[in-house]
Amino acid sequence: MYFLTVPFTVQSGDTGELVTSAYHLRVAHPPGYPLWISAYHLPLKYLDFYNPFHTAAILTVVTSLIWIGLLLSKFKKKCDLLMISVLATSAVVWKYALLPDVFALHSLFLTLVFLCFLNPKILEKPWVIFFVSLSVAHHHTIIFAFPFFLYSFMQNYSHRKLVFSLVFGLASISLYFLLLYFNPTEYGSWDLITSPKKVFDHTLRREYGTFRLQTRAEDSGSWVLFFLENLIKNSWSLVLVLGFILVKYQKELKPHLKKLSIFAFFFIIYFTVFSLLGGMSLGVHGEPVFERFLIQPTLYFFFLVLMIVSIPKVKLPKLLIVSLILNTAINVSVNFPALNYRNNTSIEDYLKNSIDSLPKSSIYYTYGDTIGFGTYYLKDVLNLRPDIIQVHPTWGFPWSREKFKRTYPDITRSTDEFILTSLDLSKHRFYTNYVLDRVPQGMFLSFYGLNFEIGFYQGTENYHRFQCDLNYKWRTRPQLGSFSEYEIGLYFDLLYGACNFSNGLQLMNENSLAEAEKEFLRALELSPFNSRYQERLCKLYELSNNPKRSSCEERLVNLLTVIHPQYYSEKL
């Protein structure tokens, strides 16, 4: 199922940046992920699959199958197999078994630590210590699994194991110094890693604040509820299994109470620290960020249930066995279409349409991970539109502005944070996907297809009307009947008509209702499922007493019935 749903085109989040960094061997965002970048570099560069992104996705699937296979090699009972099936088909695990992000490899390390916790004797083998030690060169949240490793280590303490642990641990930490050789001076590399101090700062995520997902601290307490909601939605049968065993087999659990208590304690520690120091609320952008961090507590919960079920004399009744089968079947029926990235070209189509519409030698300021680093991938890996000068979303950092100045000295006036006063726009047209907070006097901001153009007024030229009629090409587009099919790609699909919609609003304010109707209809032609556009068209028909109002409102109700209403209030 993973191979059937693996993506062929660039997707959302950090995937565009990570794949590009691995392809060109560049420094990725903090902490740098030197192990992931190194492991993916050669396959992405030299394996001739469909494209480098697809190759990275295949490697991610293989990594996921390895850690699932390790669990299957240890737990072989029928109920174990069914529980592993529930986990493997849950939304968050399935999703990051496909997307080339760092979380599949992180799951592999968590599984290794769990197996050591169950059977401390395997730490007598140096290669086990070696692979577990590599985890410190990867994701920072592995520190929440370190107490499990320490417990396993102390069960059969020996000086030999201590030596191997120290040697392999220090060797793994030293992998972060590879950042000094990951082309740190290139514009596409994060920060300017040119000294050991810079390596330490990057490794400790000083720019964001250590143990924070981003620089600004917001309330993230709702993340616990977010986790519970996803757990019950995708793994409800495991919750039933845990509840049944805790009630039915209390006596059988007592000899294992120490181990279970240790596991539960550090499970709670993860929740507490992450909730207090995550640094981001859910809201518009928080949910897709936080969902990735559901994987570790989800695995913790699953490991806990699997450990309890493996206790001798614990047997599950047929009803719970049926619930595990049913849970897996529901997960497959819901998540297979929702996470089928095989034909999901929505994001890449949007990014291609965006840059293909820009004039030659434009400056393009891309904001946000998906658009910014997705465009970064298209330009630097697929070599699309090399004539366009892309300003990365990292412009807010001083090192990024300094790198831009070194790379493009002819168009950089200064390295101020405000981009419009920092660049020489006299010879280049400037575009952005992001509405800037302010535009200097004497400059205009106008829609240009999927982006905004910012430039200087020329004479009496009227920029009141936006340039909307550009040609777009699509390979696949979502359908109303399966509206969750393409995940965040749907968001971009809903924006194609934004320029015409804005034109329509202007014309409507001027009481040019006939012209406004044409613009709204064109907006809906480009974005047929955007209920916001549909609602404004209905409002226009109401003002003009147009008999089309009735059918317009029927379609609006249909859209809001199929699509979650909050989607528009939050996203648009």
The tokens describing 518, both together, are: 């044409």
The tokens describing 216, both together, are: 């600004």
Average per-residue pLDDT for the chain? 87
pLDDT category, 406, cuts 50, 70, 90?
very high
User: 318-338 and 223-248 helices cross at what angle (nearest 10)?
Assistant: 160
pLDDT category, 7, cuts 50, 70, 90?
very high
On whether the CB atoms of residues 364 and 375 are closer than 8 A, the answer is yes
H helices, E strands: number in the chain: 26, 5
Question: Is the pTM for the entire model greater than 0.85?
Answer: yes
On whether the CB atoms of residues 429 and 359 are closer than 8 A, the answer is yes
Q: Give the Cα separation of 112 and 145 in Å (integer).
A: 10
In the three-class reduction of DSSP (H, G, I as helix; E, B as strand; rest coil), residue 398 is classed as helix
The phi, psi pair for 359, rounded to 5°, reads -65, 165
Above 50 in pLDDT, residue 373? yes
Q: Which residue has the tokens 């907006």?
A: 523
Above 60 in pLDDT, residue 421? yes
Q: Give the Cα separation of 132 and 424 in Å (integer).
A: 51
Among 119-133, 281-295, 385-399, whose mean pLDDT is lowest? 281-295
The pLDDT tens digits for 120-144 are: 999 999 999 999 999 999 998 898 8
Q: Give the Cα separation of 287 and 216 in Å (integer).
A: 16
Residue 365 β-bridge partners: 391, 432
Element (DSSP H or E) covering residue 567? helix 566-571
Closest C-alpha to 240, from 170, 323, 311: 323
pLDDT at position 214: 52
pLDDT category, 436, cuts 50, 70, 90?
confident
Above 90 in pLDDT, residue 17? yes
Q: Give the Cα separation of 135 and 112 in Å (integer).
A: 10
Neighbours of 558 (CB within 10 A): 13
The pLDDT tens digits for 72-83 are: 999 988 999 999
The tokens describing 466, both together, are: 């936006």
The pLDDT tens digits for 171-206 are: 999 999 999 999 999 999 999 999 999 999 999 888
The tokens describing 188, both together, are: 């596409």
In the three-class reduction of DSSP (H, G, I as helix; E, B as strand; rest coil), residue 412 is classed as strand
pLDDT category, 489, cuts 50, 70, 90?
low
- The residues, any chain, with a CB within 8 Å of residue 550's CB and separated by 6 or more, are none
Closest C-alpha to 356, from 466, 445, 472, 447: 472
Angle at 529 between CA 472 and CA 368, to 5 degrees: 65
